[in-house]
Structure 1
Amino acid sequence: MFSIIDIETTGQRAQQEKITEIAIYVHNGTKVIDSYSTLVNPECHIPYFITKLTGIDNQMVANAPKFFEIAKKVVEITQGTTFVAHNVSFDYKFIQQEYLRLGYEYKRKTMCTVKLSRKYLPGHSSYSLGKLCDDLSIKIDGRHRAGGDALATVKLFEIILQKHVNPSLNGQPVQRKLF
């Protein structure tokens, strides 16, 4: 089981910045079986350059839940799954930092679709999500928004899984270990 996750934030540094949006798609290796998405009130100002990139502004998140209000849901929906993201260290560190601020530790196995793409989809000039999706004809509805980027990562992940599945003797797919 996999939780394919994307977040939007107030900046690049997990220790100083906060999450403004999160999207999670739970995938069983064949299809999405559950999802969760919400804006998040970061309880701080969203810089103009972030608003320009994501379209998320202070007014949009003013009445959104704060991270502590969604923390239980994030734990529950990702329980027993591998945390998957495009450049996983960014998303994972931010989520871990949000839990540390609440006095909790968040730990999941992680998997990076950048690394998987480089290994199983070689030959691309760039492995950024936007350029890779362009190369693979994956349409991103809502670029630089958690839901759009997470869903594009789901489609990318499924392409990687398709390239990584071998037929067995009885015609049933057999998945090799990804790492």
Structure 2
Amino acid sequence: MEAGLLNILARVILMLDFLFEDLESLQMKDFCSEVSLFVGPKSDDYDNVYTCVLFVSASVAIISSYIRVMIAARSASTDKASARKARNTLLLHLVQLGLSLSATIHNPLLIAISKTAMRIVLVRIQSVFYVFIIILPRCLSALIYGIRDHTIRCVLVYHLCCRLKLLSSDWPS
């Protein structure tokens, strides 16, 4: 079975443990999300443990993979410039994976903020977090490789700058 399926099954079982006579508590007053449906101390404990285990296991996988790839790149390359370029590319991907890893704390962070922030502030924070924690890590390497590539740099910059016409000679090679 897949880990995501086990997480959903555990959440459904925890939801069945809830007494449905108290339907008033199922109303989402602070934070509108599927996470808000899981009420009770068992659900909170499960969410905390699941987030910690996911964060730690992904961190260990990322760090150990990075170390192994760096060792392999260093031993395979005799050219210093090539080794530096490989190291920089690996660092880029490490940063991207670290940002992707931050997505695991997206919901717990929003829930914690929802307890103190006003509704309109929470909606704005939620939008900013979504862009920087969910979307940006997924497009970061494509964006950087697009800026590095001289053939598509002009088109990419043209669209990123809201279609303002910039001379290609304005950009350093």
Q: TM-score, normalised by structure 2?
A: 0.23
The structure number with the bigger radius of gyration is: 2
Structure number with greater CO (CA < 8 Å, separation at least 6) is 1
Higher helix fraction (1 or 2):
2
Higher strand fraction (1 or 2):
1
